Structure 1
């Protein structure tokens, strides 16, 4: 009987010392490696870049000297409905203040950011730098038409 118990104990010990199996954890895995964003200047601020047109359908936009009041009114209505949760004209919130945006960005860049924030955040270095500056708060795609985008762009000229 002692021999039998001894053999069982030795066999259990040998089986327990076998190859370790990797535990599978439930849920998801998150990769926290940081990617370098090169669109910041030496002071860490996002630079002014009037030559960058961004990523999207707008490649050549020129504004008339006078603001189109009808377009600006339509743009203000859309802006008030969709944008004010994150943007104020003169106050930094979840997103940047938009007063004077055309002194920092080209009209094409602004309009491409409005209509195509997903593509801009993936490919545009300034959009990536702004994302980093604003604590990775992603601008949501509002699925705007080109006309709505142009109206909002016209309204931004009035700020």
Structure 2
């Protein structure tokens, strides 16, 4: 019985986090007609992360920490394969997106969804805004390391 209540509570929180502004008809059209369309603007995303140095080889402790954060904050909406649940699956994400874009999406989700063309395209596809999970830059870096491991990178 307690599991059902927790599940309903979690679903209610998720649905309330996914709500959007319903009165953005004319304004959203104007924004979509004039986004920052230069490839560099979307390549690294919008946010504090401007450069990421990747580990070669991956650091097992960062991968383990990233997986723990994934299990706690991300797994309900993102699967590790290419299956979309609420959000897109993570398989191949490190091949499709720059590491800076991934970390900016994790740490600066509101601005990314409002201003980044690639993030806006994902929002149109998934129809659900990613909630801000208050992930620190350090934790986002660990999640990124886990994503690379998930994609089979060494």
1:69: which partner in 2?
60
Q: Does 1:54 align with 2:36?
A: no
Q: Which has the higher helix share?
A: 2
* 2:130 paired residue among 134, 139, 144: 139
* Whole-angstrom distance in 1 between the partners of 2:121 and 2:136: 26
Q: Does 1:105 align with 2:78?
A: no
Q: Does 1:123 align with 2:115?
A: yes
Change (3 A) 1:156 1:125: same
* 2:106 paired residue among 111, 114, 119: 114
Q: Does 1:151 align with 2:142?
A: yes
* Whole-angstrom distance in 1 between the partners of 2:101 and 2:22: 31
* Whole-angstrom distance in 1 between the partners of 2:120 and 2:92: 20
* Whole-angstrom distance in 2 between the partners of 1:70 and 1:130: 30
Compare CA radii of gyration and give the structure with the larger one. 1
1:148 to partner: Cα distance: 0.6
1:31 to partner: Cα distance: 2.4
> RMSD over aligned Cα, in angstroms?
2.3
Moved over 4 A (4+): none
- Structure 1 unaligned blocks of 5 or more: 1-28, 39-47
1:86: which partner in 2?
77
Change (3 A) 1:32 1:144: closer
- Paired residues in the alignment total 121
* Whole-angstrom distance in 2 between the partners of 1:65 and 1:73: 16
